[in-house]
Structure 1
Amino acid sequence: MEVQGRIKLIADTQTFGTNGFRKREVVVTTEEQYPQHIMIEFVQDKTDLLNNFQVGQQVKISINLRGREWTNPQGEVKYFNSIQGWRIEAAQPETSGDMPPMPPADAFEPASNLNEDDHDDLPF
């Protein structure tokens, strides 16, 4: 799955526990009729992927949805979801339709090398 939008916030890397578990969060604001502020976490070695990005930048983030079950001390079962990023790249500007971009007009050679004799070579 992918999330596209503009980076609103990049948090500092946090370290937890004696094992040194690392987590870093980024908030991306989608650009649609009703923009959403999506918090995505990068964990362990993936936290370094955010070093090359900055607030305001357009990005595309590949994500996995994670869910887990937890039983509290009173025996109640609770469920938690998280959005975990595993790749981030600068978003390419959208082009309209499926057409490739048109090269500039000066990239074409003028058709001035036609022979005068070639103007009437149709077979019918």
Structure 2
Amino acid sequence: MNYEISGKLIYKEETQHISDRFQKREFVIEVENEKNPQWNDFVKVQLIQDRCDLLENIALNENIKVYFNIRGRKWENKGQVTYFTNLEGWRIEKLQQQAPESIPVPEYRVEDIPPLPDADDLPF
């Protein structure tokens, strides 16, 4: 199944060459909690093999959208069974930075300004 998540890239590791035939690269994105930014999520995603290069043109603090699959594995060692779950990225898109909304400033012409009254009628 394919999933996607958007957030700000806050950490990226160098590519790790595990063996002659396997390499991986991990990174973390901060996903904003709309109700309370103190509860933002920090999601680690893994890239493998030729997809490790997907992060090359992305700088820290850039907003990105990551497409990924969920991968689960079972590992047994000396009678102990452990389960691993990875988010395995396969595509990354840069998101456009949203410019703050600006309120248009009305244009004034000299003709729009009313004339001053002839008498200064100040209350003091």
Same fold (TM over 0.5): yes
Matched with 1:46 is 51
Q: Percent identity?
A: 36
Pairwise CA distance, 1:92: 3.8
**CA-to-partner distance for each residue in 1:6-63, whole Å, 9 max, x for gaps?**
000111011012x231111111000113211111010000001110101000000001
Give the 5 Å matches for 1:1-124.
1-17=3-19, 19-32=20-33, 33=36, 34-73=39-78, 75-92=79-96
Opposite residue 38 of structure 1, the aligned amino acid is V
Regions of 4+ moved over 6 Å: none
Pairwise CA distance, 1:86: 0.3
C-alpha contact 1:10 1:54 (8 A) present in aligned 2:
no
Q: Structure 2 CA distance, aligned partners of 1:3 and 1:55? A: 17
Q: Structure 2 CA distance, aligned partners of 1:20 and 1:13? A: 13
Q: How many residues align?
A: 94
Q: How large is the RMSD of aligned CA atoms in angstroms?
A: 1.9
User: What TM-score does the superposition give when structure 1 sets the normalisation length?
Assistant: 0.70
